[in-house]
Amino acid sequence: MAPPGSGLLDRCYHPLVRDLAWIVLAPDLIAMSWPGRPSRRELGLEDDDRLAAWLEALEAAPDALEAHLAPALKGRMGLYHERLWQFLLEEAPGTRLLAHNLRIHQGKRTLGELDLLYRGRTDPSLVHLEVAIKFYLGLPQGPGAADSQARWIGPGGADSLAAKREHLDRHQLRLAGSPEAREALLPLLSPHLPPGQDGSAPTMAVRLAIPGVLFYPWHAPLPAPREATPDHLQGRWLFARDWHRVRDGLPRGTRGAWLHKPHWLALPRREALAPLRDLEARLAQHFSAPASPTQLALWHSDMGWRRVFVVADDWPRQIPLPPYP
């Protein structure tokens, strides 16, 4: 599957700029009842020429982007993703970031955080945006029906699409509407309220951005999970024991890359890819002892790009329980 906006990504060389472009272009994994991410039009990057010019300016002067992302380069994937969104909403032509990671308290108890709060540069409407980036592997056999979100779990087996979806729906996306959040938001937002508005907290839209990749099992059929978007990004996962069979089905001359966190977003440039034999030797060494799943990017002109997760033969060692109904 070709990455989203491949032509635009091909014009970017800096890995951080490529990841920033990816979050603008990547589709969401699922469509819930909540409104989705800000559109390219809202960001002021609606046509490819305008987006390309904006990215080229960042390529020429990446210092601000590098400084903003530096604290997250060795941390959690979610933190890196959040900081990309912070930079995007502050620096895109059409939006302005008002606050991020705003903690909401009830007395001494922390109820949670609001990821991002922004507005259009020419629109006073306030938006609370929750963001999450997820890479889930589907289980041919597991909890629930074949299309259950509980069958889609993280590479480490600690979370699932079902659990994440329920937490977003029941808690994170509703937090901004709580009395505690509205009280906390009023002093922060008062400078941005339209003239004449009274002292009540302003009306706020709540939205969700949840890009990522769903990895389907190589060895068995599995339908897409419930609520999956039609254009969600896809890959395949396979047991280490099956690598040779998968390799033998690839076009001769296929090249690839071993993807390291946090750079699981935009795929690498083709000139950075290594011969398949190099990846194969590294895989053999990696899985010669108990090892974590690893993500590869494979490319050949006849097949385009493929994302692959290779997991140990005893994966998964744990499966998260489905959330309570």
Residue 320 lies in a domain: no
Residue 60 lies in a domain: yes
Report yes or no: 6 and 55 within 8 Å, Cβ to Cβ. no
Cβ neighbors of 90 (< 8 A, separation 6 or more) are 96, 97
Residue 316 lies in a domain: no
Residue 324 lies in a domain: no
Listed in order, strand segments (DSSP E) in the chain are: 95-106, 109-120, 123-131, 134-138, 152-153, 204-209, 212-217, 233-239, 255-259, 274-275, 294-300, 304-311
The ranges of the chain with pLDDT < 50 are 195-196
Tokens 């895989």, residue located = 283
Rounded CA-CA distance 237/217 in Å is 5
Residue 305 lies in a domain: yes
What are the tokens at 183? Answer: 């009280």
- Average pLDDT of the residues of the chain: 92
Per-residue three-class SS string for 251-297: CCCCEEEEECCCCCCCCCCHHHCEEHHHHHHHHHHHCCCCCCCEEEE
Given this model, what pLDDT does residue 123 score? 82
Given this model, what pLDDT does residue 196 score? 45
Residue 319 lies in a domain: no
- Give me the sheet containing 123-131, strands edge to edge: 95-106, 109-120, 123-131, 204-209
Rounded CA-CA distance 302/32 in Å is 35
Total structural domains within the chain: 1
